[in-house]
Structure 1
């Protein structure tokens, strides 16, 4: 039902009485209120709405948010974990270690009843002997590095002297080779000087030969004129022609001499360059022998120190196992990958692993095939730990370290194939979470999700992108 809106109060009451429907009455009142607004208020209302609309659009256009690729994964050790193995056969009585548990050096991990005490004693004797040999070798290497003439034992002193003698011989050989090249350069330069003198003489001889040829030609032409007038004997003219021929031969010979001397000169210059290169190579070799030797000594020292550290750890563990029949932690760290169970155990069998204290953990995620094209090293990552809800404990910032170029096939928690995924390692900016004022270390095995920031997009793009995608697909599907 349509009614006209009047400003007369009597007519308004009459119209309201005619509008029995509440909705029609509300529409009437609203239209009347709008008509009764002053023109200035109407324009202000329209302007305010326009400013809000355009301001919202501008904010959505200029505001940037992160576009992320979400990948699931778990924390893994960044460095190699230290395995704990059984030094002898026996029976595991009790397993105290649990995955994720922090342990200190000397903490009891397992109770093992040795199968044969003699085996443990033999291992201890072997380890002690090996440790002594390595320590003697370390003393000899330190003496060799510092230039000390004694390594502590007769055998090592003999070995040290042999090494020093071999180095001196090698250095003397390199210096002799350099001196030989210097002598060769000197001889080559002396010969070069002679060749330069020979070239000057050959060029002078060529010049004289050409001048003699010119004189002989001039004499032959003069005698030819006189011979026509029968003013000279024919024999004298023949001698003049012979002189021309001889002069031409001498010119050719002089030219050949100049060319051959120039070739010898060029060859001698090449030999000098080769000798100079040989000298530089020999000199570099002689100069680098000392630094190369020090580098080799330091490398060997580092390797032997690692060996003796590992050997001492095994020796301490064997002694304690012999005395207490217990396997203890060789270093401070976190228990990782417990494989031991109660029952028989073989010699050399790996029982568990320990992540040394201070070693970092990284997040390894599986990036889906659809996202891998946007992932590269150095990108920022927001890591959300499954154990610690990010709404309460926040996120852990990280950076993409390495993206595997090879895909693997993984299954999700429901056993369904995710298709090809790419293992990607993320370095974490912190290794602990603050929980109620206490630092809780992140340990291997914790699951987490990584939101890799691939680029910045405007809010407006996020809003209109689904519409444009649907619009584009509408003209492509059948």
Structure 2
């Protein structure tokens, strides 16, 4: 009965399946794809294990001679009166570079010139005094020697007279004794005795006069000899005083001339690298007028590094250099070696003075780099490097494998955790 209730088609429809059986499709080149994927994974793993990454620190600097440039600076404010040099000129030592004048004009004329004229007059007067002093010294010595000779002669004569007067007194006394004896015997009168006494007294007085003259001559002779001994000392004292005055005037003349005009000369043999002033220009004290590059000077790179990177820099380290005047994309990179690192950081003002960069805001260390070549191959010829050229430098501060860079945060985290 149930079979008659539903039609046969309904039973057949229920027996029909909507979904078929699962069939897996494998393309014929599936193994090639699997091999490529495995190879890529292997290469990536090998790259992480054996590959490395170099961390570089880039800094800027400038090329300068190893001994530094010779800066020709004005010693005082004034006007450039002469500037006979130009860029590229070869100079010998002491060659004239410039003349700076600080002459001031007043209603009396050129002040420095007037001062120089007065100082020359004073100098000439002192030179005349010095000449006259020499002549006076010669005349004084000659006069003293003549006086000494004359006094010596007088002394000899007075000694002779003194002996004669002494003999006269002895004879007068002897004669007086005889007259007194004769008076006792009645052969001479009192008048004769008195006359003889007067003769003896007169001889004594004349002897005393000669004695005083001898003393006077001896004193004069002693004074003359003392003057002869003192005259050279007096002469040299007076001469030294005049020479000291001459020295002071000469110093004043030099100082006045230095304020009036200064000739700037080359301290060493070299080449004019730059002329920073022109004739007729007013310059200040300390202002650079010209730069001189010493002959046979080797250039070196002076690089400024911040304190963040200086800890990884050491002498002997190789450096990659890129000269701003020779683009590295066209002329390639150059190389050098670190030779010296400053012991202390330079202030921003000092860095600006070396590099000319006024944008520096933090202390920096100076690194000196000896460059491998003093020229660059450009357009088929060697072009010499010029001082003052800008240079960029790459310092290799750290080199690690790739996996070390990847794991570095984990290592840092482990160290922090251990603390």
TM-score by length of 2: 0.45
- Structure with greater helix share of residues: 1
Larger radius of gyration: 2
TM-score by length of 1: 0.40
